[in-house]
A and B are shown apart, each in its own frame.
Chain A
Amino acid sequence: DAGVIQSPRHEVTEMGQEVTLRCKPISGHNSLFWYRQTMMRGLELLIYFNNNVPIDDSGMPEDRFSAKMPNASFSTLKIQPSEPRDSAVYFCASSLSRGSETQYFGPGTRLLVL
């Protein structure tokens, strides 16, 4: 079975540009998570969707960050405008249902903002 799919795997952009990260969760999973990983702060939850509805976006750092989930098989995380401090690895994860079910992670998108 295919796991969580993310694209692109690597993104290099200049400060001020718009960045869009994409995620396809595991089929049948109802919960989707976006995380950011940095050396300083480790893994941090940015936003959580359940049944395509955003439930908790308290981890989204600023209004420059937005996320959508138009259907059960696709989600995007957008940064506009991007800044150098946004450089990190962004992971998407999905789980079978709401609650403390096991979360399965994608391979991540490594973002570098120059």
Chain B
Amino acid sequence: EDQVTQSPEALRLQEGESSSLNCSYTVSGLRGLFWYRQDPGKGPEFLFTLYSAGEEKEKERLKATLTKKESFLHITAPKPEDSATYLCAVPGSGGSNYKLTFGKGTLLTVNP
């Protein structure tokens, strides 16, 4: 069974203080990895899809990277508006590749 673990559970940063969130997974064969952002009271908002080890994607202050065992979401010079819960997910194998297994998320708080 696929497992996704995110760390830390919560992270508090000062505005401008760069850091990274971790998503580690145990899957039978990597079929991609998704990152979502979720604001309180809202649905998850798609950020990135990574498909192969070594791949990187960027959006504003966020950069996602992928290795064979984990993914990192790097946040550079964060702003208060980056505060949210960040979720990662991996698709199932074979005919179940529609089935996303989500981590519990990292709650990021950026203080001004």
Contacts and interface: CB of A to CB of B under 8 A. Distances in A.
Interface of A: 4, 31, 33, 42-43, 45, 48, 50, 55-56, 91, 93, 95, 98-100, 102-108, 110
Given A42-B105, A56-B99, A105-B46, 16 more contacts: A4-B43, A33-B98, A42-B103, A42-B104, A43-B87, A43-B102, A50-B98, A56-B96, A56-B98, A99-B98, A100-B98, A102-B46, A105-B36, A107-B41, A108-B41, A108-B43
B97 A100 contact: yes
Interface residues of B, number: 23
Nearest to A41: B104
B71 to A, nearest CB: 15
Given A42-B103, A42-B105, A43-B87, A98 B44 contact: no
Interface class of chain A by DSSP = strand
Nearest to B102: A43
A70 B52 CA distance: 38
B49 A45 contact: no
14 contacts: A43-B44, A45-B99, A56-B99, A93-B43, A99-B98, A100-B31, A102-B46, A103-B46, A105-B46, A106-B43, A107-B41, A107-B42, A108-B41, A108-B43
B43 A98 contact: no
A99 to B, nearest CB: 5
B100 A103 contact: yes
Contacts of A107: 41-43
A103 B32 CA distance: 13
Given A56-B96, A100-B32, A100-B97, A42 B102 contact: yes
